[in-house]
Amino acid sequence: MFWPEKISKKLNIQYPVIQAPMFGVSTSEMVAAANKASCLGSLAVSDLSGDMSAQLIRETKKLTDKPFAVNIFVHKIPEITDALKDQYVKTKKFLEDFAGKNEMEVHLPDLNEIKINTYHEQIDAVIEEGCKIMSFTFGNIDDKSIQKLKENGVILIGTCTSVEEAVQLEKSGIDIICVQGIEAGGHRGSFADKNIPQIGGFSLLSQVYDSVNVPLIYAGGIYNAKTIMAAKNLGAEGFQVGSILLASHESALQDFEKERLGNVLEKDIVLTKSFSGRYARGIKNKFIETLENSDYILPYPYQNKLTGALRKAARNNKNAEFVNLWLGQSIQHYSRNSTEEILRNIINSCES
């Protein structure tokens, strides 16, 4: 038997392969397609409101009757100080001027127009909609919410980027830990947003395996049978894949973004805070080169909310220089086949 069974049995899936929750890329259709491949689909709701989260959950349930994970952000919301207000005004003006110089007229929101949601209303949505698997990133859930979720039979999957974070998750009663290597695409799951751990995935996985007793999912650089086998040998019971699905039929990426994937080079993939205020790995472009290490990066989620309208305008203009295209370090052929077919192919390659 190639596949470990612990996570499969716990999550009621045939294969312990998890479609990564990529907000802005994954869709309800992708979740359903992953489920069709007898894997675990993940619905990314990021930091949406409880009502919007519930709506997406309901839309996904119409497409699949199998279990799927709902993934939320559990970041701390920075206090709005006078210093933050001043920085926001300066950053807003800089970004509007920068966009104008690049032939994009955008009007970004003022600070008082931004709606910031806490994860607690999302937890209520997860429970009310009867979801039984919830994954999360950017930290840990508070003890009261963990108890509330467990009382409602929800299996919890936390994300770690260091041994210290893994130990904290286990001590608080989290059921499964997703170990995220530095090579993974998208946002880092680190508890802090500064001085984050930058540990190679397989080194981290081996150390976490020796430090905790809960089942582990590995995420970071998985794209074929060899990488899955390596993670399995180091103690992973589950395998999360994201970048290999970026160009899939169900992906929310537009054609111009999928085409950019086709000619990406190793040196193009960087870690940046420029778009959201938290570190994420993606393809370097003009926006990142200009903003990174500048004075125009607000803390998350304010930077993320502020740049949203700019990214939307760039996508409407099919301008790859101003969009966040998150991508991991394992460059491969980005298939445009269905998510189901891509996942079945990797499963078959592991079993052949």
How many CA within 13 A on the CB side of residue 233? Answer: 8
Inter-CA distances, 221 with 213, 237, 243, 268, 307, Å: 24, 16, 8, 16, 28
What pTM value is reported for the model? 0.97
DSSP 8-class letter at 238? E
Question: Are 159 and 186 contacting, i.e. CB atoms less than 8 angstroms apart?
Answer: no
pLDDT at residue 333, as a whole number: 92
279-294 tens-digit pLDDT? 999 999 999 999 998 9
What domains can you pick out in the chain, each with its CATH number?
1-77+116-248+334-352 (3.20.20.70), 80-115+265-326 (no CATH)
pLDDT at residue 352, as a whole number: 87
139-170 tens-digit pLDDT? 999 999 999 999 999 999 999 999 999 999 99
* Encoded amino acid at 245, one letter: L
How is 310-342 classified by DSSP, letter by letter? HHHHHHHTT-GGGS--B--S-------S-HHHH
Helix (H) or strand (E) holding 158: strand 155-160
Radius of gyration, CA atoms only, the chain: 19
pLDDT at residue 66, as a whole number: 96
In this structure, what token pair is assigned to residue 26? 């994954």
103-142 tens-digit pLDDT? 998 999 999 999 998 999 999 999 999 999 999 999 999 9
To the nearest whole number, what is the mean pLDDT of the chain?
97
Question: Are 174 and 191 contacting, i.e. CB atoms less than 8 angstroms apart?
Answer: no
Inter-CA distances, 348 with 49, 312, 342, Å: 39, 38, 10
Q: What percent of the chain has pLDDT over 70?
A: 100
